[in-house]
Amino acid sequence: MSSVVSGPAEPLRGVAKVPPDKSISHRSVIFGAIADGVTTVSNLLEGEDVLATIAAFRSMGVTIEGPDAGNVIINGVGRNGLEAAGCALNLGNSGTSMRLLSGLLAGQTFGSRLTGDASLQRRPMTRVVDPLTKMGARIDAVDGLPPLDIQGPADLHAIEYRLPMASAQVKSALLLAGLYASGRTTVIEPTQTRDHTERMLAGFAGATWAPAGPLKIDSQVVLSGQVLAIPGDISSAAFLLVAATLRQNSDVLLPGVGVNPTRSAVLEILRLMGADIEISQERQESSELVCDIRVRSAALQGIDVPPEFVANAIDEFPVIAIAAAGASGITRIRAASELRVKESDRIAAMVQGLTQLGIDTVEYPDGMDIRGGHFTSGSVDSFGDHRIAMAFAMAGCIAAGPVEISDANNVRTSFPNFVSLMNSVGLNLEECP
């Protein structure tokens, strides 16, 4: 789809099974590939980003069956069993793939070249390249941008690294590199970020994940194949949470959504704003907390977003901004400069789009102020960013008229059935070629 048109909608009703979690899907493929034995995965996200990760490991000699209706069988080659790819590993639009694989491949005996589409080649990689270089990796990147040329063989050594900015992807890259480094690698976070890597690493190592201070890893860890079930993606659920909250008389059930404590701050932010969100059927699946979420329409009030929630809701801020635009009063978002280095500059993209739709918005280096109002009809640019496109599609359901979102092709990276699923509960979306 080159664009999506979102029109005013009827009240949203029904049950919507959101796509599997993208972050966990990536990690299941990575750890399954370097484990000993077979890993079976159910409910894997078949989005373009995850498929790029699968293709990369196939290029490095890993036999992967599927995905077939979300089912994947990964025949692990062990930690030292990867082979040099015969060409550059093209990771499409997936920043997660590039950052995590840079850590994994930094410790291999062979060289690798990581590249991607035009958008990915504009995303800065210095924050992951610098600490990997401190570990002894040899990585060439012009101006800190992809392609990344990783030279082998590497002789990595452990470091203690304090992250200057909270980033689950940088943390994960260092932990993966630590599997190949002499000594014990320690990563210290300024604020806790999503811990999917740590949970999954513990599971593959036959241990129970128990957070306790700085993260440590060494090359003595033995990884064995696992049976994994991927929960629904809270980041994808967030779009429906906001749309159903804003559209009067809505009532939507989202079953099987992952609510990892390091990922669920979006629920707390929306509740602080006044959202009617009910959690039920909490359970553990593959070391992750999963539940059913029911959301009903509610009147929202602007808030100052607590800074301690920012890191754990970083991917949801585009749609949180839509919620703020539909609330009464002013919502202030700060300490969110990480949004500047996502698939787009998400602060600038949201401010521009909201302004074009009649919402009073002020941009700051690390966030924005949004005064709640009424969406007008109009056109906005997603800048090729899937989360920007999907966020503004939610605005259309309560706008004065249709909202057209351009450059929406990358929605498929995380939410392949976005239009059909949203329309199934009452949204009014149309794909345009």
By annotation, the residues acting in catalysis are 315
Find, among 112, 66, 74, 121, the residue nearest to 93 by Cα: 121
Q: Which residues of 43-59 are buried (b: 16+ CB within 10 A; e: fewer)?
A: bbbbbbbbbbbbbbbeb
The length of the chain, given as a count of residues? 433
Q: Which amino acid is at 157?
A: H
First to last CA, the chain: 5
Cα(350)–Cα(317) distance, rounded to whole angstroms?
9
Amino acid in position 256 = G
Tell me how far the alpha carbon of residue 422 is from its chain's centroid. Answer: 19
Angle in degrees, CA 147, 336, 405, rounded to 5:
70
Q: Could you tell me the CA-to-CA distances from 121 to 56, 125, 160, 280, 344 in Å, in that order?
A: 17, 9, 29, 42, 12
204: left (phi over 0), alpha (psi -120 to 50) or beta: alpha
